[in-house]
Structure 1
């Protein structure tokens, strides 16, 4: 696949998962220096890895959340929590993958991941914004 084909294929998937407004905004703000990063991200991550057969987008989202927890990449956890919802991942599945990652990555990494995901899940209306009243 030619480089421009991989970029276009990746751009389509990236927009579908992360939202066109977010993706297009990042590309629009990129100067020549940052465009090199936009290009490699769009081609390699989204045009190559995310479009391969073998794993569906839902599974890839779950893997990303686990790996980002291990790496302690809180801003990316927020971004990919929103993307996971777009890919059909349930709140329960997000919770389970974060619990699993917490066991292997440690409590501090898990806590940061839970806080980041919780913020996004509330903002997206996937969970209530307030704690339900005790009965």
Structure 2
């Protein structure tokens, strides 16, 4: 796959996970200073990792959220909670992964991210309860 093909694939996956509005805003904010970094993100994170065949989008979403919570990357965590609506992950999934964060990365990390998730959910964004998905 060429670099341009990986970039195109990455943009398609990024849009499917984060939504067109988010990606359009991010693209509009690019400058000469960060254009290479933005291309790197699209090609590596979205064009390679998120485009792999070994995990579903739901599973990738859960792994990503867990790592972001454990690493204290709160803005990215909130963004990926919002993205859960597009990945098939549910509120129950979020509760479970944050319990794992509490055990393996610490209660303070999980506590902070529970708060962030509650804020995102209160804004009407983010995942749905499992029963909402089936009705």
Q: What 5-or-longer segments of structure 2 have no aligned partner? A: 129-135
Partner of 1:79: 79
Equivalence for 1:13: 13
Aligned Cα RMSD in Å? 1.3
Q: TM-score by structure 1 length? A: 0.89
1:85-100 counterparts in 2 under 5 A? Answer: 85-100=85-100
Once the two structures are TM-superposed, the CA of residue 114 in structure 1 deviates from its matched residue by 0.8
Aligned residues: 127
Contact 1:27/1:35 (<8 A) preserved? no
Superposition misfits of 4+ residues, deviation over 6 angstroms? none
- Where 1:9 maps in the other structure, the secondary structure is helix
- The answer (yes or no) to whether the contact 2:101–2:107 under 8 Å persists in 1 is no
Larger Rg: 1
Q: Which 5+ residue runs of structure 1 have no aligned equivalent?
A: 128-135
* Alpha-carbon distance in structure 1 between the residues aligned to 2:38 and 2:117: 24
Does the CA contact (< 8 Å) of 2:18 and 2:80 recur in 1?
yes
User: 1:67-120, CA deviations, whole angstroms, 9 ceiling, x for partnerless residues?
Assistant: 011100110110011112211111111111111111111111111111111111
Post-superposition Cα deviations, 1:6-63, rounded to whole Å, max 9, x if no partner, equal 1110001101111111112111111111111210111000000011111010000000
- Segment drifting more, 15-24 vs 117-126: 117-126
Structure 2 length-normalised TM: 0.89
2:63 and 2:100 mapped to 1: Cα distance? 11
Q: CA deviation at 1:122?
A: 1.9
